Structure formats: C-alpha cells, structure tokens
Amino acid sequence: MAEQQIPPAENQSSSTTPVSLTLLDPDVLECPICREPLKIPIFQCENGHLACSQCCEKVKKICPSCKSPNGYSRCRAMERVIEACRVSCPNAKYGCKENTSFGNRASHEKQCLFAPCFCPVPLNDCNYVGSDKNLRNHIRAKHKDHVIPIVFDTPLTLVMGSSEKIACFQEKKDGELFVVQAFRKSYGLVVSVNCIAPSAHGLGRFSCCMDVIIDPSIKLKQASTVREIQKKIHEEPKDSFMLIPSHMLMLTDWSFGIDICFSRGMDSFIRA
C-alpha cells in the first residue's frame, strides 16, 4: 500500500494543502507489459489497455492483450495522474527527504546519497544498517577497537597473515570507512580496497597506494581509485584489485605486509 500526494490544480489557490491519498495497488501506475513505472508519453489501445512508449515499439504497436493497434493514442488522463503523483524515497528511514515523481523514482534511487550502508566489521552479531554518516558514528561508538585509525596521506603498515581476510580502517577526522579484503585462490591472493559509502558519490573521491612486501627482494606496488560500495564484498572482485601470484606467497606461507596509504582525490597516483 503506497501513499501519494496530489498537488492542487493550477486553478486552485497556491495555499491549498495537497490531498493525501492511499493507493491500494501501486501496480496500476506501472506499465502492464514491462512492469516498470509509467513515464510520459503513455499510450492506450482502442480498448483502453496501457503501454509505455518503449513497449509500444517492442510489441510493434500491437496490443498484447487484445491485438488491436497501440502506440497512436495518448492516454492523457493517466499522464495527468503520473505527473501529479509524488513518492517518498525508499531511503526515507535513513534520512532522505526527497519526494520525486513516480516515473522518476528509479533515477533518484540511483543518485540517492542516503542509500543504506552495512557495517563492515567482521562480527557475526552486528547487523547494523544506516546512512553512511550514521554508520561512521556507529563504528566509532561500537567498534572502535575493531578498526584501524588512519590519516589521509599518511602511510601505515598492515600485516596480513594466512588466516586474516579483512581489515577495516576509519579516517580519524571525518570518519570515512575503508575495507581491505583478501581472497585466497589457487593462482594467488586477490586484494581489494573499497570505501563503504553510497555509490552515488561516484568514482574518484579517494585513491589508495599499496606496496606489498613479500621479502626484501620482492615488492609489488599499485595505485588505484577506491570504489564506493554499500557493503563489503563476499566474492573476489572482477576489477580494481591487486593480484599477488601464488609462487611469490609460497616463500612466506601466504603471510605478507602491506604499506598502504589512503588519499582524497587522485593524490595516491601522483605519489606512486
């Protein structure tokens, strides 16, 4: 059940309070063919069956319900309903106050900075979910002893043993959260670095430089942008990772040290 707000019509006073309606079946505002939210222009066949413009082309302008022509007559009444409907963001419980048109809700969700983020600390009993700001506060209050404090542009050394698969970092001033994960494979160790934050921020806010020290004679170096993800990954990444070949790790029983440095922007590339 969804609640829609209908703003006053143009000939009404601007001080009129919008009417609050309860929509018992939100599916009526979706295209019956593709099941996506209806967007203008909306078409109807001679029997009143609706279709979005993209579906009209896909079905070659033949109504799949009654086989009559569709894609020529606009359904102006439904277009007015869609224009008038406003929906709250599904991330409202995490702090988003946006109300968007029904047809554009998917576009907003992709850009919403209040997308839920999940606690990355590897504790079985913590299922915290919240906005990235609230998650940072949660980490400081509940998991201070389980994260490694960092300062941007200041390198530190992390020792990863054969049994350790994840390390969490929190920047001291602003509280940004970073996760280093290692995935052991037959061909080597896949190491990824991510920031726990809504992906709507876009790529390039942070970068990271890693120097992996196998022994004094073997050293790998990599600088990369840091992806922003809402939760730690559970499968090896398909891109943006460092690979340490297995034949190198055989020398140290799969234990190694990482000199790691986080930066804002692309500073890690400049120093690499």
Boundaries of every domain in the chain: 27-84, 87-115, 144-264
83: Cβ contacts below 8 Å, ≥ 6 apart: 40, 101
Q: Which amino acid is at 42?
A: I
Q: Are strands 166-171 and 148-150 parallel, antiparallel or unpaired?
A: parallel
Domain 144-264 is in which class?
mainly beta
Give the CATH class of 27-84: alpha beta
pLDDT in tens, the chain (272 residues): 444 444 444 444 444 566 677 777 778 889 999 998 888 899 999 999 999 999 999 999 999 999 999 999 999 999 988 888 888 888 999 999 988 877 777 788 888 999 999 999 987 778 999 999 999 999 999 999 999 999 999 999 888 765 558 899 999 999 999 999 988 888 888 889 999 999 887 778 999 999 987 777 778 898 989 999 999 988 888 878 888 888 877 766 667 788 999 999 876 555 55
**CA–CA separation, 197 and 115 (whole Å):** 8
CA angle, 104 as apex, 5 and 134 as ends, to 5°?
85
Cis preceding linkage at 26, omega within 30: no
